[in-house]
Chain A
Amino acid sequence: MPETVIERAAAATPAQIARPLRSLSDRALAWIFIAPTIFLLLAVNIFPLIWTIRLSFTNFRANRPNAEVQFVGLENYRRILTDPDVWATMQVTAHFLIATLVLQVVIGFALAWLINQKFRGNDLWTTIIVLPMMLSPAVVGNFWTFLYQPQIGLFNAAVSFFTGGDPAGFSMIGEVALAPWAIVIVDTWMWTPFVMLICLAGLRSIPQSIYEAAECDRASKWRQFVTITLPMVLPFLMLAVLFRGIENFKMFDLVVQLTGGGPGSTTELTSITLKREAFEKWRTGYASAYAIILFVAVFGISSIYVKALNKVKAR
């Protein structure tokens, strides 16, 4: 007779509660199990979303709750979508996205390919490489500002060690030309392991027999790589790119702590603009419209992501 905690809990359930539960029909049980989840998600996600849509048609300001709220129609959307400054932050976001995705895919895939050579100790190295991904972006991003300090920072010291330059001669987060790269470097450091892990799963899903067959056909290693490895890993890579794309499109915590959007607005990603409009300028109605635009973009890409995900799952 196995005595587990769960069994004891089940045995200890009072008969008054246990009996009605036991006699429930399957359908009722299913709904009782699902209802709390759906209810909570409706209350904390969907209800606020509908509220945001409603607010996006008004000039409401959260810091003046007693002021009269006017319905302004599509005015907020018109102002955002014709504003060259908003357009500029979108391009800052685009640069960040392209740079991080390219770096992470190239480094991540290369690492996965190397790890898949099954050298001794690959598990240990993989675990170490994965560490940054699981840490708090805000806390780590904050500490990176210390590594980026001119002169005393470890990053500057390392760069000057390899290039011979003056470690006090440049400031990664203080200079307009360097700041965008400062956030790209930290994001790449943090999230390359994510792409690496997914690529590794892709590489390991390829059956050895395919390579053995190609070897019998005397296909060169390079040809095997192009005709077998790449196409087989591509769906996984697609998944990684979409997921990282969505995450970096809404990137907030890491960059806020690293540069806060500065200097000027050179690293002002779109989430940071939204935060400023909503919680510093308190233009709640305007910010709600902005949020809806971002939401539709993310939701759209998520739909494609889920489609890609189901494809990988079905393999």
Chain B
Amino acid sequence: MSATSPTEPGARLKLVSGLLVGLYALITLLPLLWIIATGFKSSADAIAYPPKLVFEPTLEGYVNLFTTQTRQTPEMLAADPPTTWYERIVSEKGMVIAGPSRFGERFLNSIIIGFGSTFLSVFLGTLAAYAFSRYRVPLKDDLLFFILSTRMMPPIAVAIPIFLMFRTIGLSDTHAGMILLYTAVNLSLAVWLLKGFIDEIPREYEEAALIDGYSRFHAFVKVVLPQAATGIASTAIFCLIFAWNEYAFAVLLTSGTAQTAPPFIPTIIGVGGRDWPAVAAGATLFLLPVMVFTILLRKHLLRGITFGAVRK
């Protein structure tokens, strides 16, 4: 479109729009920047009044996040001087490291359950989406609506019987149980999104392959899958982000071995009041991967969050 078009917004309107949107973006960003900044503050700086914008960065929060500590007398500290940088940070407060904290385990649980359920739901979802896209399936609309409606259910309402079911068959607080549950929840999203992506691949490609003597299954593997690769990848990231962020099921159905990070991070407590730098450090490590993925995904965002209803 040329710059002289009557519908092109004027330069002043553009400038004002840019300023307003930029201002809103900064306000949006502020809490997130505050989380990251608090992670690098000392405990005193974190609760200073007025809130400190300029501070001396320290890794104290991260050390507190990954370790459990006990108080030690000055004599004992002098007798056994710290050897590493993290021991030095801890000993300045008159403490020694007693051992690793639970955070590492919980983070690992998030990774295992996130990737496990993502792999399963994308695998099953691709198969189902292909069938829904290419074959005449009886009651297709009803099945698709059924699949979507399972996603709409309130998690707490579903959690009551799932809690009883898992207790009966011994799946409560296990990785397998959580992977299965998240797979079921993500499957609806995966089927709807992938169906949209596969619908967009022209049928002629497969038909050409069929004429060349490929079987249906072979054509699916060799022609459709490579064509849908981008769609499959973005679907996978959406599933991963959902499983990564999920809280309601995790807090109700896990307590120890399979607990993920979202229910764990709010329970981080320091010595004497909440250790906000440690909480912020945990939150930063937990949120940063999603922020990176969001930036990578920005072209597919709308499609993912509306079940493929809105394309752009």
Residues of A within 8 A of B (CB): 4, 6-7, 9-10, 21-24, 26-27, 29-34, 36-38, 40-41, 43-49, 51-52, 55, 62, 107, 111, 114-115, 117-123, 125-140, 142-144, 146-147, 151-154, 157, 167, 189, 193-194, 197-198, 201, 204-205, 208, 211-212, 215, 236, 239, 243, 246, 249-250, 252-253, 256-257, 271, 274-275, 278-279, 284, 287-288, 291-292, 294-295, 298-299, 302-303, 305-306, 309, 312-313
Contacts and interface: CB of A to CB of B under 8 A. Distances in A.
B215 to A, nearest CB: 4
A183 B157 CA distance: 22
Interface stretch (B18-26, B58-66, B70-78, B82-90): B18-26
A194 B301 CA distance: 10
Contacts of B31: 132, 140, 143-144, 147, 154, 189
Given A37-B128, A201-B310, A252 B155 contact: yes
Contacts of B291: 131, 134-135
A62 B265 CA distance: 28
A119 B261 CA distance: 40
Interface in B64-110: none
Contacts of B287: 135-136, 139-140
Contact of A197 (B38, B261, B302): B302
A11 to B, nearest CB: 10
Contact of B154 (A114, A129, A153, A271): A271
A189 B268 CA distance: 25
Contact of A157 (B22, B51, B156, B310): B51
B191 interface: yes
B113 to A, nearest CB: 14
Interface string B147-161: 111101111111111
Contact of A37 (B181, B191, B280): B191
B160 A119 contact: no
A114 B21 contact: yes
Contacts of B225: 6
Interface residues of B, number: 109
Contact of B127 (A21, A33, A45, A62): A33
B56 to A, nearest CB: 18
B119 interface: no
A295 B301 contact: no
Contacts of A194: 305
Contact of A48 (B165, B215, B283, B294): B165
7 contacts: A6-B225, A24-B215, A134-B301, A138-B262, A215-B6, A279-B159, A284-B164
B139 to A, nearest CB: 11
A5 to B, nearest CB: 9
A125 B50 contact: no
Given A29-B216, A157-B51, A239-B306, A37 B187 contact: yes
Contacts of B274: 146
Interface string B121-158: 00011011011101101000001011111101111111
A101 B161 CA distance: 31
B143 to A, nearest CB: 7
A139 B283 contact: yes
A43 B9 CA distance: 54
Contact of A294 (B32, B130, B150, B154): B154
A34 B152 contact: no
B266 A23 contact: no
